[in-house]
Structure 1
C-alpha cells in the first residue's frame, strides 16, 4: 500500500509532530507532501527515511498548488491520500479527486468551538470545509470533542471516525543526563525550579499566563518550547515584568523529549484544546502536569493520570499551584493514560481505516478488533 500524507506545513507543531511520530509505525510505504514551510519537522521526517515533497504554495489562494498536487499524486500512483490541517484538507482532497486516488482520508487536528487552526470559523470557512469534506471517504477526529464539533458543522456522523492522537512513551522517557545537558545549554542553573510550556506561541495558548505566574515566583525559570506569532509579545511582556532573564525561548525544536527532561513541571493554560498532546507527552516524561483543558484526559477515567491536575488559566492560581511542587519536585512513573494513547495502537487503527476505505475484505474485522482494544 502506498500512502501520501499531505499537510499544510512542517514547522514544529502538534499535528506536524504527530505525523512525524506516526510514520515509523505504519507498515504502508508513506511519503509526505507539505504545501508550505518545510521546517525542522520536514528535515526530521526525511532523516527518518520518508520522502518529503515541497509544493511551494505561495498563499491561501495559490490555486496552482492543486495542479502540482494532482500531478504528484498521479505520478506516485498512491492508494491513499491522507490530509492533515485545514488548507491541506481543502486542496488535498480536490487534488486527490482530480488524480483519481482510490481512497481519501483526512485527520482533523485543530477544530475549536469558534476557530480552526487559529482562524475564525466563518460561514465561508465552514462551507468550503463541508464541500471539500464530501470529496473524501472519511474524516478522522483526534478526540470525541472534535467529532462532536465536526457533526455540528454538518459533517455526517457516518463519515467521522475517532482515532486519538498517539504518543511514543519510550521516546519521552525522562533522561537525567539529557536534562542536565539541556539546562546547561540554555543557561539554566542545575538547581533551578523549571516551569515548562510546550506548543505554538499563539495567543490562544495563553502562555502569557505562564510569564505572569513566574513573575511573583522568585527563583523559578520558565522554559517555552515553540514558535509562533505571539513570541514577540511574550518577550515584551517578560521584559515589562522584569523577568526576561528568567524566561527561555527555545524557538522551533524537534527535540521536545530533551526539553521535557530539563523541566520540573509542565503547565498548559490553554482553555481550548482538541486533544492535549503536550499534556500526554509531559506525563510520559514523568512530569507533574497542570492543565486548563485536555480532552485526552477528559475521555479517560479520573485515575488514569494521577500526576495531572486541572487549573484555572489565571496567573495567581497557577502560581499558587506551582508553589506546591517547588519544595520537592520529583519524577513520576508514566500513568495509564500514556499507555492508552500509545502510538502503535494509533498506527494500527489508521491502517485498519486505510484497508476499510480501500474495501479490503478483512478490514471490518480488523477495525472491530482495534476499536475494541482502543477503548
Structure 2
C-alpha cells in the first residue's frame, strides 16, 4: 500500500480543487491510501472529502508569507511517514516540496494546474516568482503538467525535461449527464423560468477569467428567451475576488436583474443542467476544465482559449465556437445561439473529445508515476507526453 499526502493551497470550488476530489474518488484504494493537507482552510469541498473517508489536515496558513506553516507541515509529513507527497497549486507546490524534502519523503510529485501565459494563479510570473518556482521544483522528483501547453511553458521556464510529464486533467463524463429534474430544481431555486434562455459560466471569479467581457457582451445582446416572455439570463457560478466588480458592472450596464451570481457550489452538474449555453471568455487557460464539463453536459460552447480543445485539433468538438476578445463578437455569438421554446430542451451527446480525457486512463498514469517516476508513464491515446 502506497501512502500519499496531497498538499493543496485551499479547497474552494475551483478547477484544481475539483480535480483533486476526482482523483481521490478514483485512485485504487487497494493500492493507494490518501490523505490531504490544506494550507489554508478546508471549506465545503474539504468537508465533502472528509465525508468520503479521506482525512483532511488544516495547516492554518494565514498569508503567503506565513513561514510558521512550514514546520507544521514538516511535522505532519514526518508523523504520517508518507511514501509520496503530491502538491497542487503554486503556494502548496513551493511550501509542500520544501516540507517534503526536509521530511525526507521518498517521492515528491507536483501538479502544475495554473500556469498561463504571463501569470500563475492570478499573479504575474515575475523573475522572482519564476526563480522561487524553479528552486522548489528541483527539490521534487517529478512535475506533472495538465496540458501540453503547460508542458511547453514549464520547459521555457527551465524545468528539466527528464523530470516533466504531461498527465492531462480528467473528467468523469457520467457525473455531468443532463438531468431534467436537476434543471428544474436549480432554475426554481434561482427564480429562472423554465423557458428562459440561460447562458452561463463556471470557475473562480478572478480578473484572468475575463468575465467582465461576458457581462458586457450579455448586456449588448438583443436575445429574448421567448417572444413576450422577457430577456434571457446570465448565470455566473463561482466565487473569488472579482465578484464585487462584476456585480457593479452588471448594475451599471442595467443587467443586474438578469444576472445571477451563485457563489461557489458543489453542484456544478446542476448548474450546467440549468444552462442552455456555456461561455468561457478567459484569455489564459492551462486546460479549460469548465469547457470540458459543459461539453460533457451537452451544451453548446463559446470560448476564447482552451488547451483541452486547442491542443487536439483532430478531435475538435461540434457545437463549439472560438471567439476573439471583442465584445461585439461575443454579443453576436450569444444572439446566434440556437434556442427552443421547450421547457426541457434536448441535449447533445458528449463529443469524442470528452472521452479522450476519461478519468480512468489518467489514474493509471498517476499510479505509475507514484511508483516509478516520469519515465514509467505510458502515453494513453496520444494524450500523455513524456518530455525526454
Smaller-chain TM-score bracket? over 0.9
Candidates 291, 296, 302, aligned match of 1:279: 291
Superposed displacement of residue 313, structure 1: 2.7
> Structure 1 residues 277, 372: CA separation in 2 closer, same or farther (over 3 Å shift)?
closer
SS of equivalent to 1:136: coil
For 2:282 and 2:383, locate their aligned partners in 1 and report how far apart those are by CA, in whole Å.
Answer: 27
Higher alpha-carbon deviation: 322-331 or 199-208: 322-331
Equivalent in the alignment of 2:371: 355
Q: Residues 231-289 of structure 1, C-alpha deviation per residue, up to 9 Å, x if partnerless?
A: 00111111111111100001011110000000000000001100000000000000011
Question: Are positions 1:133 and 2:137 aligned together?
Answer: yes
Question: Are positions 1:339 and 2:355 aligned together?
Answer: yes
Superposed displacement of residue 322, structure 1: 1.6
Question: Are positions 1:297 and 2:312 aligned together?
Answer: no
> Structure 1 residues 34, 185: CA separation in 2 closer, same or farther (over 3 Å shift)?
same
Equivalent in the alignment of 1:208: 212
Candidates 246, 249, 265, aligned match of 1:237: 249
For 2:381 and 2:322, locate their aligned partners in 1 and report how far apart those are by CA, in whole Å.
Answer: 29
Superposed displacement of residue 213, structure 1: 1.7
For 1:313 and 1:255, locate their aligned partners in 2 and report how far apart those are by CA, in whole Å.
Answer: 29
CA contact (8 A) 1:31 1:52 kept: yes
SS of equivalent to 1:140: strand
For 2:334 and 2:370, locate their aligned partners in 1 and report how far apart those are by CA, in whole Å.
Answer: 44
Candidates 317, 322, 331, aligned match of 2:329: 317
Superposed displacement of residue 158, structure 1: 1.2
Equivalent in the alignment of 2:14: 13
For 1:12 and 1:238, locate their aligned partners in 2 and report how far apart those are by CA, in whole Å.
Answer: 23
SS of equivalent to 1:15: helix
SS of equivalent to 2:373: helix
Contiguous gaps of at least 5 residues in structure 2? 225-230
For 1:65 and 1:311, locate their aligned partners in 2 and report how far apart those are by CA, in whole Å.
Answer: 43
Equivalent in the alignment of 2:227: none
Equivalent in the alignment of 2:172: 168
Question: Are positions 1:33 and 2:45 aligned together?
Answer: no
Contiguous gaps of at least 5 residues in structure 1? none
> Structure 1 residues 372, 238: CA separation in 2 closer, same or farther (over 3 Å shift)?
closer
For 2:315 and 2:37, locate their aligned partners in 1 and report how far apart those are by CA, in whole Å.
Answer: 40
> Structure 1 residues 222, 172: CA separation in 2 closer, same or farther (over 3 Å shift)?
same
SS of equivalent to 1:235: helix
Normalized against structure 2, the TM-score is what?
Answer: 0.92
Superposed displacement of residue 326, structure 1: 4.2
SS of equivalent to 2:108: strand
CA contact (8 A) 1:307 1:335 kept: no
Equivalent in the alignment of 1:4: 5
- The alignment's C-alpha RMSD in Å is 1.5
Superposed displacement of residue 330, structure 1: 4.4
